[in-house]
């Protein structure tokens, strides 16, 4: 696989949904039935260490383009709401994006310019992941599940809390929706293989029915600003305890 490349600011935002209001495309994982795990046999499993996630990507160039599009849902950065246009004009570089209970309550995407900024937020809100299972996690068996189509349809594969996949094999650039394990603290998507590039963090027990609803801003090879979707974008994943 040719590595995807990104340069300049990367701003995560949401597209329009039906109806007069904008809404965060985030919902609670259904607890009605626990799915049997399906292993991605082409992927090598690594321990989900904190070192994998708390790193900053280097700016690179983007290979593909999308039509002009300006998402309208606000982005929360250091306690202040910005429109996607304001962040674009300011040239703000974001590398980590968070979707959790606070995001759902405020109807925003939370953005962070560095891994350290995000780490401070996780510590303040008591959401820091761990490399050691809690007492509950010893008996909790729910996996995070990744689907090839929106709304949890089509083929899927699973990753257990505490595991990470640096390369997805034939699942590279194929994830369109996901369910973050209720046994995990976070499920993280990485834009590049081997845990590189920008990161999208989804809180444990939350699910994203349409990754295509989430957009980020990058510069293409012609040095034009364009919006890109997270749909069919992830090249590595980690599920944290």
pLDDT of res. 226: 53
- Integer Cα distance of 217 and 146 in angstroms: 24
pLDDT values of the chain reduced to their tens digit, one per residue, 241 residues? 444 433 323 333 333 233 333 457 889 998 767 889 999 999 999 999 999 989 998 765 333 333 334 455 678 999 999 887 787 778 777 889 899 999 999 988 899 999 999 999 999 999 999 998 887 777 888 999 999 999 999 999 999 999 999 999 999 999 999 999 999 999 999 989 999 988 999 999 999 999 877 655 554 444 444 556 788 989 999 999 9
Q: In what order do the strands lie in the sheet with 45-47?
A: 45-47, 163-165, 236-240, 186-192, 196-203, 96-99, 109-112, 75-77, 80-82
Q: What token pair was written down for 90?
A: 């300011």
114 within domain boundaries:
yes
Which residues, at least 6 apart from 229, have a Cβ–Cβ distance to it below 8 Å?
A: 66, 211, 212, 213, 214, 215
Interatomic CA distance for residues 217 and 238, integer angstroms: 23
Structural domain total, the chain: 1
Closest CA to 29 of 203, 180, 239: 180
CA distance 241 to 233: 24
Q: Is residue 4 part of a domain?
A: no
List, in order, residues 6 or more apart from 171 with CB less than 8 Å away: 40, 42, 43, 146, 148, 157
- Number of residues written out for the chain: 241
- Is this prediction's pTM over 0.85? no
pLDDT attached to residue 95: 85
Instruction: Please tell me the predicted confidence (pLDDT) of residue 118.
Output: 96
- 74 is a domain residue: yes
Quick count: other Cβ atoms within 10 Å of Cβ 140? 18
Angle 92-209-37 (CA atoms, 0-180°, nearest 5)?
115
Q: Is residue 116 part of a domain?
A: yes
Q: Which domain holds residue 89?
A: 13-240
Chain Cα centroid distance, residue 135: 27
Count CB neighbours of 78 within 10 A: 12
Residue 76 within a domain: yes
Residue 7 placed within a domain: no
Residue 8 lies in a domain: no
Residue 6 falls inside a structural domain: no
Q: What is the CATH number of the domain that holds 191?
A: 2.60.20.10
CB atoms within 10 A of CB 108: 21
90: enclosing H helix or E strand: helix 84-90
């Amino acid at each position: 696989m040719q590595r995807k490349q990104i340069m300049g600011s990367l701003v995560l935002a949401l597209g329009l949904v039906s109806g007069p209001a904008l809404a965060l495309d985030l919902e609670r994982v259904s607890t009605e039935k626990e799915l049997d795990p399906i292993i991605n046999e082409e992927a090598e499993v690594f321990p989900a260490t904190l070192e994998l996630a708390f790193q900053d990507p280097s700016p690179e160039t983007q290979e593909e383009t999308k039509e002009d599009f300006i998402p309208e849902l606000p982005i929360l950065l250091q306690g202040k709401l910005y429109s996607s246009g304001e962040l674009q004009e300011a040239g703000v570089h974001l590398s980590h994006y968070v979707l959790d209970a606070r995001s759902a309550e405020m109807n925003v995407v939370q953005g962070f310019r560095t891994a350290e900024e995000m780490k401070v937020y996780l510590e303040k809100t008591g959401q820091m992941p761990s490399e050691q299972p809690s007492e509950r996690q010893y008996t909790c068996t729910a996996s995070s599940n990744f689907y090839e189509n929106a709304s949890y349809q089509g083929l899927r594969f699973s990753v257990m809390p505490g595991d990470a996949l640096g390369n997805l094999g034939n699942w590279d650039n194929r994830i369109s929706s996901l369910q973050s394990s209720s046994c995990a603290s976070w499920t993280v998507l990485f834009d590049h293989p081997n845990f590189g590039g920008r990161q999208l963090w989804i809180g444990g027990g939350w699910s994203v029915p349409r990754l295509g609803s989430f957009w980020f801003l990058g510069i293409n090879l012609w040095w034009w600003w364009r919006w890109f979707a997270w749909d069919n974008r992830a090249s590595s994943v980690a599920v944290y305890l």
